[in-house]
Amino acid sequence: MTTTQPLSPSQTARKDQIIFPKGEFWSDEPPLESNLHLTQIILLIKCLEWLWQDREDYFATGNLTIYYRPNQKKSEYFRGPDFFVVLLRLNNYLNRHRMNTLR
């Protein structure tokens, strides 16, 4: 049987307090070259959001690691994209899915 003790006021976090994990954040993504690089990625995403404001069949993001195989290793010969867009024709996908479930 385990017993617990109430936390002292110094051990409880306030709602607006951010608790960071101990140590460094882990990432296998190479850092961006500069703040300008980050600004350019954000500008590209914002432009696409404005251009495609009536669309709901896309996903655009930047500085995100993409693994093409489960055990893929990063190397100097392989670099992930700084920016990418995924387009999905939802109606085509749903129609295909319905046809497969009806069979």
pLDDT tens for each residue of 10-54: 555 566 777 776 776 666 666 667 888 889 889 999 999 999 999
pLDDT exceeds 90 at position 78: no
pLDDT of residue 29: 64
DSSP 54-103: T--SEEEEES----SSTT---BTTB---SEEEEE--HHHHHHHHHHHHH-
0.85 surpassed by pTM: no
